[in-house]
A and B are shown apart, each in its own frame.
Chain A
Amino acid sequence: DAGITQSPRHKVTETGTPVTLRCHQTENHRYMYWYRQDPGHGLRLIHYSYGVKDTDKGEVSDGYSVSRSKTEDFLLTLESATSSQTSVYFCAISDLLSGNTEAFFGQGTRLTVV
């Protein structure tokens, strides 16, 4: 299994509070992604990173920010959580340099905003 760890695995937070989710990899893969998964919507890309300090927006980036100060860590921050951000969040990594674009996923973080 690819070495990807998400933390926390579960979190309940209140509306308006900031929340940071962490994704840690031990594979030295260049590309890292944050997705959210909701019933009826599938996996939707929030933000992705193609290198240290290199990030870009995905299709549902509003209300989210990311940072990547080290190859192994990719942080997702909800600046002020809202109930619409209740979801399961998945981190993924890939290594395009190998010619493959397959992604490996972390275990997921279930976030509930009350």
Chain B
Amino acid sequence: QKEVEQNSGPLSVPEGAIASLNCTYSDRGSQSFFWYRQYSGKSPELIMFIYSNGDKEDGRFTAQLNKASQYVSLLIRDSQPSDSATYLCAPTGAGSYQLTFGKGTKLSVIP
């Protein structure tokens, strides 16, 4: 059974601060790592993906991957109230059909 662990939150940060969302996974064969954002009552949408160890930046978002520690994180700089949502981590193995999601971390950005 592949396990994906995320702190369920809620994680509250003030507007303009950095939000740090963390995810650990059990499957050492995982090679692709996705972060999805889900607004309340909506479907998940992909915001970031990372394949290699290290950091990947896209605008205000930075994904960080450490395969040795089986750890992936998402940093949101200059957090905005519109970032308030649940963030889902999804590691997948090479050629894997199955997409396994963490339970998600609920982020609340306080104006």
A-side residues, CB < 8 A to B, are 31, 33, 35, 40-43, 45, 48, 50, 56, 58-59, 90, 92, 94, 96, 100-108
Report the minimum CB–CB distance from A87 to chain B (whole Å): 14
Q: Which secondary structure dominates where chain B touches chain A? A: loop
Complex CA gap A48/B96 in Å reads 12
For B44, the closest partner residue in chain A by CB is A105
Q: Which of B58-111 contact A (CB under 8 A)?
A: 88, 90, 92, 95-104
List residues of chain B with CB within 8 A of the CB of A43. Answer: 44, 88, 101
Interface footprint category on B: 20 to 34
B-side residues, CB < 8 A to A, are 1, 8, 32, 34, 42-46, 49, 88, 90, 92, 95-104
Report the minimum CB–CB distance from A38 to chain B (whole Å): 10
Known: A42-B88, A42-B104, A101-B92. A31 touches B97 (CB 8 A): yes
Which of the residues A40, A42, A108 comes within 8 Å of B43, measured between beta carbons?
A108
Which of the residues A41, A50, A106 comes within 8 Å of B97, measured between beta carbons?
A50
Known: A101-B32, A108-B43. A56 touches B101 (CB 8 A): no
Report the minimum CB–CB distance from B6 to chain A (whole Å): 8
